[in-house]
Structure 1
């Protein structure tokens, strides 16, 4: 834990990361009462507010930008946008079922049904992400409630599991041992630091020089249907989170009621696994292209702007890219302002780039294809670094 100054006050609190605290809580007045037990003192007017932080200018300019966009109303959501997004998810699910119910369960129709369900699941994944970040409703409790409905009832996962992993990722993106998204359990080595460390220590749990090849077998196909499902069950049961478990079971109750009469039990299970398999490819490529090719290192205690930009890149804007990625093609803006509704990311992108240019912080934007190919090339580079260190150091 670090000592940090809660923005807009002269009080010093024992908090993990001041900028992160501000970024994750849309109602700053409400959460002030939870800081009282962490109050450790107050700064005199002559004392430095950032404890000698060399990046005080960056921090100040970023806070100014944040204040400006708040005054412009860019943290207010458009209800119609999210209603339409939910509507097209439900419509895809309904059409997928109606198609096989009315025309039959031939291989062609079943494949079409699976593609539609996978599309619905992927888009529901982006929607639950919005509610999980408290970026839709003004009141946090409504965001939490709808988040449980979308991730639980529409997707068959758990809000508590997602919150724990994803908020840690946002607080310390691409920081080894702190960001769960770069904890690959020894299956992959990432970045330029970890591969060399593994090589020097002669760690060879996998043939890492071939990881860019076995990634296609162990990454996109297995993350959602196997890894996430096991994690979700473990978290709900070990933490006795019965509310999330109820939402989780409601998804499978609805699913089997719809598809068991058409496919039987084992056929329904097979269909669900195939849908998860398709969704998993979509999910992995979209979520990894913004982070995996970027800098991955141990904790450097950088300011919020610098830390997020070193670990994050954008994908070019287009109607398809926005829809396909759930607006996570604006990953930079999302990481800097995680409670901002995604339909406003493009309105802040130019000013974010200008702020980065002012301080010489790289602001990377790639094509969709380049973002995906960089995932593979970065894995190959890391694998080659491991092999060189393993053989020669």
Structure 2
């Protein structure tokens, strides 16, 4: 166990990195934040962000993700006092021995610079404008059917407008989700529930549960839920695809996955999977407030469109809108991640972890709007609580740091990023087949 010494505040227990790294089991989970050692074995199940996201850092230094995710750190630290069990021994380095200490320190300096520049402060007028533009599109969709009839063209226009509403509301709730979690602001929480619950019909708790795992360990197999389609549907990543082939596992014809992606990827994720899973999630976890917000969406949608196009027409319109939303969502979210490095958790520096799993798409007014500024995926992953209107200001600073340490900072044209999804699936499928046929 750790050594003990008397300090001004009483007896302090000291631990080595080796002792901490052993505590990453189901029975015992420790982590380090700013040299202090915390036992999260029981607390992880009460963690507001979910048990998994904090458990993913068991046995590791969680200083950088802690800093990245928590807006009101003083509030959070009050709850952490009862978890504190000691500190790293005086002879132990501040940074895990396996990591590049200079890179870690330089990134933390960059983080301080970003804070001092005010880049983590949201512009309320910007987000009010984004919310109003979503509400306006939603209203125009209904007015279009009301005034121009229910023939094919007005129905198509309404569907396109509603699909745009769902996509843009998705990017907006993503903003408020990052700005509201671990924050004392009740307005952020309320607006987040309104946008994701009332405008989209999904539970805020589900988004928190899934999305923060993705940010904590992007593209890490068994830790990032966004790549859970491996191996049941797709063979993702070069190394994982080869490993799957060598184990002679074949759940799907992966060498054809770049083709069937167009059938079971973009068009099906939301209408086929998410549509039922979000209700299952809310009920199974007893998230009744989220469920109530979700129901208001379906009541409003039914009230608006059943009088105009009937029950069957409303169901058809709803499913087509989900189909459009699904295509938009999948292409935008996966263009930054699927073509990148996908493997098990390698516990690298925060900068390296995020950069090997993300890339950017070139800036333009259309790309910014179309992707909800997630074309700046690198900056978003490094600073999850940074409001999207400031990504472009942080980008030159991030580029400079990446250049200093030889970290690959990728930025692509939009359609190149789309094409890379397909080409990366084709490549990993071929690697799987070669390994599968290898004797």
TM-score using structure 1 length = 0.96
8 Å CA contact retained: 2:99, 2:349: no
Name the counterpart of 1:48: 93
Q: Distance in 2 between matches of 1:214 and 1:54?
A: 40
1:85-138 CA distance string (max 9 Å, x none): 001100001011011111100001100000011011100000000011016997
Alignment check: 8 A CA contact 1:135 1:341 kept: no
1:352 aligns with 2:398: yes
Match for residue 28 of structure 1? 73
Distance in 2 (alpha carbons) for counterparts of 1:86 and 1:174: 31
Counterpart-to-counterpart distance in 2, 1:251 and 1:379? 36
Instruction: Name the CA distance, whole Å, in 1 between partners of 2:274 and 2:355.
Output: 27
CA offsets per residue over residues 150-170 of structure 1, 9 Å max, x none? Answer: 000000111111111100000
Cα distance in 2 between the residues matched to 1:63 and 1:383:
38
User: How far apart in 2 are the matches of 1:114 and 1:137?
Assistant: 36
Please point out which of 366, 375, 389 is paired with 2:435. Answer: 389
Q: CA deviation at 1:237?
A: 1.0
Partner of 2:111: 66
Which whole-Å CA distance do the structure 2 matches of 1:201 and 1:5 have between them? 36
Which of 282, 285, 288 is matched with 1:239 structurally? 285
Shift of 1:30: 1.1
Any conservation in 2 of the 1:14–1:38 contact (CA below 8 Å)?
yes
Aligned-pair distance for 1:54? 3.3
User: Partner of 1:159 in structure 2?
Assistant: 204
Q: Which residue of 1 aligns with 2:220?
A: 175
Aligned to 1:217: 263
Alpha-carbon RMSD across the aligned residues, in angstroms, is 1.6
- How far residue 47 of structure 1 moved from its aligned partner, in angstroms, is 3.7
Q: What is residue 238 of structure 2 aligned with on the other side?
A: 192
- Partner Cα distance (1:98, 1:125) in 2: 22
Deviations 1:20-55 (A, max 9, x none): 111110111111012123212134555422243431
- Paired position in structure 2 for 1:11: 36
Query: Number of matched residues?
Result: 391
Residue 127 in 1 paired to residue 154 in 2?
no
Q: What residue number does 1:208 align with?
A: 254
Structure 1 residue runs without a partner (length 5+) = none
Q: Which residue is equivalent to 1:111? A: 156
SS of the aligned residue for 2:379 comes to helix
Name 1:335's counterpart in structure 2.
381
- Post-superposition offset of 1:139: 3.5
Alpha-carbon distance, 1:193 to partner: 1.5
Question: Is the Cα–Cα contact under 8 Å of residues 70 and 182 in structure 2 kept in the other structure?
Answer: no
Q: Secondary structure at the match of 1:80?
A: helix
Aligned counterparts of 1:87 and 1:300: Cα–Cα separation in 2: 43
Equivalent residue for 1:288, pick from 316, 334, 341: 334
Contact in 2 for aligned 1:137/1:143 (Cα 8 Å): no
CA offset at residue 142 of structure 1?
2.7
Match of 2:318 in 1: 272
Which residue of the partner structure matches residue 374 of structure 1? 420
Does the Cα contact within 8 Å between 2:267 and 2:326 map onto a contact in 1?
yes
Give the TM-score of the pair, scaled to structure 2. Answer: 0.86
Are 1:175 and 1:296, in contact at CA under 8 Å, matched by a contact in 2? Answer: yes
Is 2:302 aligned against 1:256? Answer: yes
Matched residues in 2 for 1:201 and 1:4: separation? 33
Aligned-partner Cα distance in 1 for 2:68–2:37: 18
